[in-house]
Amino acid sequence: MLELSAAVAGLATGGAYALIGLSVLLTYRLVAVVDFAQASVGAFGAFSMVALLDADLALPLAVLAGLVVGALVHMGLGLVMVRWFAEAGEGVKAAVTIAVYLGLVAAGLRLFGTHPQAFPKPFDSPAATVGGVVVTWTAVVTMLLAVLFAVLPTVLLGRTRTGLLLRAMSERPTTAELIGIRVPRLSLVVWGVAGAASALGIMIVAPTLAGDFGSQSMLVTPALAAALVGAFRSFTWTFVGGVGLGVLQGVAGVVESLRQYRGVLPFVVILAVLVWTRRRDRWDTAA
């Protein structure tokens, strides 16, 4: 029963991992950038929300403002990519996002301090009881948002004209611009949506984790682990990877021998996926 309760509690964290991981995947699929700055951008939005709450702004307006901050900060990074690195390789673009990540962490610690912040818990009440285990509204809302963010891009890319334009933009940006697609404008929209989604994911998961800016920025690690499970292509498997990692960490938290290793589980998943995906090359070389 204790393990089941921990697994259910891990659904909220896993849903947030999935939401940020899906944002990473969306950025990669549509603008061809592995974005290491995604979680720090989301943390900027989430901590802006807390600052506005402390200034007596109503919660819905503070949440909306935090999402706008996350979107604008990410659009700023997107503008840099569009203007100066549009033709650069994936390695160069990833290096730029790492530099931006470090800059945002430094700026965030300067602006919001190193001490934990008190995040609101509007969905902390019980939603249902399953097998004697209480499921909170936080877990329900997080899972619904993650499912929505996994389904919408899949439908958009596979079944709509806008999705066709977005795929053309991601695969042949120069050619797409020559045939009249407004690549810079579409790119900035993608960067903005992904930034707002990251901010929303961190707003939800922040009350259950360490509430300081540095710890929230490190959520990029489980997000990248989830995106790797989806091979940086599948929205469905990225969702499964994020939720599975959250549940795994929840169960590990109640097992005495595993509790101290919870924090390294995302790195273990990343290493396992990388080794698994390279197995055929290694076996072919050995043969």
pLDDT digits 0-9 by tens, 84-106: 887 788 889 999 999 999 999 99
For the segment 38-57, the average pLDDT, to the nearest whole number, is 91
pLDDT digits (tens, 9 = 90+) for 12-36: 788 888 888 888 888 888 888 899 9
Contact between 81 and 173 under an 8 Å Cβ cutoff? The reply is: no
Does the pLDDT at position 152 exceed 90?
no
Supply the pLDDT for residue 167. 75
CA atoms within 13 A on the CB side of 4: 8
CA atoms within 13 A on the CB side of 194: 33
CATH class entry, domain 1-285: mainly alpha
Query: Which residue carries 């007596």 as its tokens?
Result: 56
Output the six-digit token pair for 85.
Answer: 């690195």
Supply the pLDDT for residue 286. 57
pLDDT digits (tens, 9 = 90+) for 107-145: 999 998 888 888 887 777 777 777 677 778 888 888 888
% residues pLDDT > 90 (the chain)? 25
| CA distances for 154 relative to 110, 179, 191, angstroms | 38, 24, 17
For the segment 66-83, the average pLDDT, to the nearest whole number, is 92
What pTM was estimated for this model as a whole? 0.84
Supply the pLDDT for residue 99. 94
Best CA proximity match to 175, nearest among 85, 279, 86, 104 = 86
Supply the pLDDT for residue 74. 93
Q: Where are the domains of the chain?
A: 1-285
CA atoms within 13 A on the CB side of 177: 11
Predicted confidence band at 280 (pLDDT cuts at 50, 70, 90)? low
pLDDT digits (tens, 9 = 90+) for 156-198: 877 887 777 777 777 776 776 676 667 778 888 889 988 998 8
Q: Which residue has the higher pLDDT, 221 or 13?
A: 221
Supply the pLDDT for residue 219. 86
| CA distances for 155 relative to 172, 227, 272, angstroms | 21, 18, 30
Does the pLDDT at position 2 exceed 90?
no
Task: Return d(Cα 149, Cα 86) in angstroms, integer.
Answer: 26
Supply the pLDDT for residue 240. 93
